Amino acid sequence: MRENRKVKEERIRRFSIARILEHWLAIITFGTLVATGLSQRFFSLDISQWLILKLGGIDNVRLIHRYTGVVFMTATLLHIIIATVGVIIRKWQPSMVITKNDFTDAIHDIRYYLGMENAPAQCDRYSYKQKFEYWGILTGGLLMIGTGLILWFPTFVVRFLPGELIPAAKALHSNEALVIVLLIAVWHIYNSIFSPEVFPLDTSIFTGYISRERMLREHPIELSRIEGTPAGEMSGHGLKDLQEMKAEEPPS
């Protein structure tokens, strides 16, 4: 019983301080861009007009939106540069690269949800769902940065490119913004807050730590590498730990 409690309470470092700060910056800039951007697109709504007035008028809203975009662009480019240098020069594991195994895991989980498999797919540091979400947001963010710069400096752009690019950039910028908002709201927020596995909140990105129990359940391959236990043995050990802890829990 004492060993099981230790397993249940043990925490493992998952995110560095730099990643935690990066996530906070992403929350602040994303929230500001959404509020100032959507209030301009849906300016006829009462809540949009209220926000615009509270921020001192449409000119202030546009100014806040643009300079927050500069912060977002800088953070995004730094993220890409640091990740690229880390993988190529410092030999970091490219844990966010989508591989064939991710598609295999996705199919495996579909079969699991349909009752055709006995257990969900075993994932490494990031699951296929986290990877797909990450690349969806990153590519969408780069599109927002590019189209935003075109809309900010239209006269400069048309010196070199056709003028038809300006209305195209406007349509892409506003529509892609809605796609990213829906992706964040429906997928990321659900997985981070409302999913039964983490409810009421997944605190790992804020504290930097994750429980060993969750590592056993969600990232057994990474845990086996951390603890130096073969993946097959770690899988069996993890299932045993979870079964024993579940048996110890008092009935609800």
Residues 6+ apart with CB under 8 A from 206: 20, 23
pLDDT at residue 187, rounded to an integer: 84
Cβ-contact 128, 103 below 8 angstroms: yes
pLDDT at residue 248, rounded to an integer: 52
In the block, residue with structure tokens 């300016």: 43
pLDDT at residue 196, rounded to an integer: 84
pLDDT per residue, tens digit, the chain (252 aa), is 444 444 445 899 999 999 999 999 999 999 999 999 999 999 999 999 999 999 999 999 999 999 999 999 999 999 999 999 999 999 999 999 999 999 999 999 999 999 999 989 999 999 999 999 999 999 999 999 999 999 999 999 999 999 999 999 999 999 988 888 888 878 888 888 988 888 889 999 999 999 998 998 889 999 998 888 766 665 444 444 544 544 455 554
pLDDT at residue 188, rounded to an integer: 87
Domain ranges of the chain: 17-92
Pairing relationship of beta strands 209-211 and 11-13 according to DSSP bridges: antiparallel
Query: Token digits for 168?
Result: 């195209």
Query: Token digits for 1?
Result: 């019983």
CA 144 to chain centre: 17
Calpha distance 118→176 (Å, rounded): 38
Cβ-contact 145, 30 below 8 angstroms: no
pLDDT at residue 242, rounded to an integer: 46
Residues 6+ apart with CB under 8 A from 137: 180, 183, 184, 188
